[in-house]
Amino acid sequence: MAKEKTPYLCGGTFLTQILRARKELTSSAEHTNGQKESLSEQETFRRLISIYQLSDFFGGTSLKPYTSKYKSCTDSLVAYGQFSDNDLHRALDEDIKDRHSKALRMTAEFVQEFLDPALWLQLVRCLLDMIESDDAILANDEFFITPDSAATKAKDISSIDHFYIESFLLGVWHYIIMNRADDNEKGADTYKQWYPSKGNYRGTVGNGIIRELKIESVPLDILHDADSFEGTPTDDEPQVEVIDSDSTTQEYSKAYTQYIEHATIVNQKGEKNVHIDHLDTLNL
């Protein structure tokens, strides 16, 4: 087998960098509550397949070994993930170009649950370096990496320094699905270069990106009303997280907004519990 040029952008190399940007467990309580399982490699892969299929992918008992094969680029898993299914391709392609994209909302949920905001910059740098260094990506290849559903040519990506993390990741994943579903094995040399031995990451991808980058989260109003997007971030937009590559410290502030829908209110008095599943107004 001929040696492939590195780095090579494919599903396995994409998944590998996603896994490197996952949140870390911070307490024993998180282990007890099941967060360790929810952040596992196989669950990460399952969620990416779900985004592609626009529905919840089950995975089955083969999910764990298949995740390892896909990550290390030893198998394209075309049948398992239905990565070459024409109807699924068409559905994703039409959805990502829609201003009310379901895939974008699913990606936003994935980012919030799985990725560490302090590692967004690292992740974007690594993926950008792969895109800009991969000779097999043609200059006029299109990436849908902005929230306004517009196409960006590969040759123009090097001039962009401001990215929305959810749109960027979805756009890269979409490009891989549409163009390299059968070529995951071509990333094997890249993976071996990154991991010459198990668990020993030696990758230098990302070093080729020397321009200052700004990474932030897609504003909530875009996710709920995509027609409000005007293309350029403004000071009036709610900014969940902003990371600049010129920061002089590695300490990143993390801001989260939690919304609780359909809450159940429990009022305990004596030995009786009163459950209220819906409440318009509560006067105390």
- pLDDT by residue for the chain (284 residues), tens digit each? 567 789 999 999 999 999 999 998 655 555 555 555 558 999 999 999 999 999 999 999 999 999 999 999 999 999 999 999 999 999 999 999 998 999 999 999 999 999 999 999 999 999 999 999 999 999 999 999 999 989 999 999 999 999 999 999 999 999 999 999 999 999 999 999 999 999 999 999 999 999 999 999 998 777 765 444 444 343 444 444 555 655 433 443 344 344 344 444 444 444 444 444 545 544 54
The amino acid occupying position 135 is: D
52 touches 177 (CB < 8 A): yes
pLDDT value, residue 222: 72
State how far Cα 252 lies from the chain centre: 19
pLDDT given at position 221: 72
Structure tokens belonging to residue 64: 């764990």
pLDDT of residue 103: 97
- Smallest CA-to-CA distance from 223 within 98, 55, 96, 105 is with 105
Exposed / middle / buried, residue 227 (Cβ in 10 Å: 0-12, 13-18, 19+): exposed
- C-beta separation of 111 from 166 below 8 A: yes
Interstrand relation of 265-269 and 242-244 (parallel, antiparallel or unpaired) = unpaired
C-alpha dist (Å) from residue 104 to 60, 107, 164 = 25, 5, 11
